[in-house]
Amino acid sequence: MHRIFVGYDSREDIAYRVLKYSLEQHASEPLDIRPLVLRELDFPRPLDPLQSTEFTYTRFLVPHLCGFEGTALFMDCDMLAVGDIAEIFHLDLQDYALRVYKHDHRPTAAIKMDGKPQTQYPRKNWSSFMLMNCGRLTAWSKEAVLTQPARWLHRFEPIPDEQIGDIPKGWNVLDHYDAGTKLIHYTEGGPWFDRYKAHPYGDVWMRAYQHYCSEAALQSA
């Protein structure tokens, strides 16, 4: 069973639920999907005024939560699967500590999500979708995640460049959808926020949301 940890933010509960639904609907193999709920984690790191989500730092706890064993995937909650996530787990990790899509993302907007400031930094969005070889990520100990600065974590500073592999095109596509897209990432905010209901590909998410609501209603009937 493939382990997937999803960054959870209490302001985006519905985004997490629809993402989970979309992953399960398209998956050809069993998934173990776990939200990283901050209040359920023993993680007393002080709030960083620059962090835009509750999972800015907790994403790096995944190897620790897995006992530094096996493979796990982390993904932000503001995503939607339109392809089979099992494909990601068949990528070769033998020579890598992790695999990511290596974006050159330089957003121009100053604000994202529900009014949070947009922060610029090298390797932006690399850490939003990470296939992890947990045994090679012991540098991300719980103590390190509690104390190290954001740049050390999000820029993968303790990880040699040659141990950071690629993820195929189509996964973690930023604010775009076409025939080659397998995972949409609504980086500035998705249609679950009022101010982003007019997102160019918000209708893709809304269709998944409607299917999710229909199935939830049937299950509760």
> pLDDT tens, 135-185?
999 999 999 999 999 999 999 999 999 999 999 999 999 999 999 999 999
Cα–Cα dist 75/170, whole Å: 15
What pLDDT is recorded for position 156?
A: 97
Angle at 73 between CA 67 and CA 74, to 5 degrees: 95
Place of tokens 């090298």: 122
Walk across the sheet containing 79-81 and list its strands. 79-81, 183-185, 173-174
Give residue limits of the domains in the chain: 2-220
Which among 192, 198, 193, 174 is positioned nearest to 184, based on CA atoms? Answer: 174
Rounded to an integer, the average pLDDT of 24-47 is 97
Cα–Cα dist 63/119, whole Å: 25
Tell which CATH architecture fits domain 2-220: Alpha-Beta Complex (3.90)
Walk across the sheet containing 31-36 and list its strands. 31-36, 2-7, 71-75, 129-133, 98-100, 164-166
> pLDDT tens, 76-135?
999 999 999 999 999 999 999 999 999 875 655 555 555 555 565 578 889 999 999 999
Per the CB < 8 A criterion, the answer to whether 70 and 3 are in contact is: yes
Cβ-Cβ contacts under 8 Å for 7 (sequence gap 6 or more): 35, 36, 53, 54, 55, 58, 59, 74, 75, 76, 77
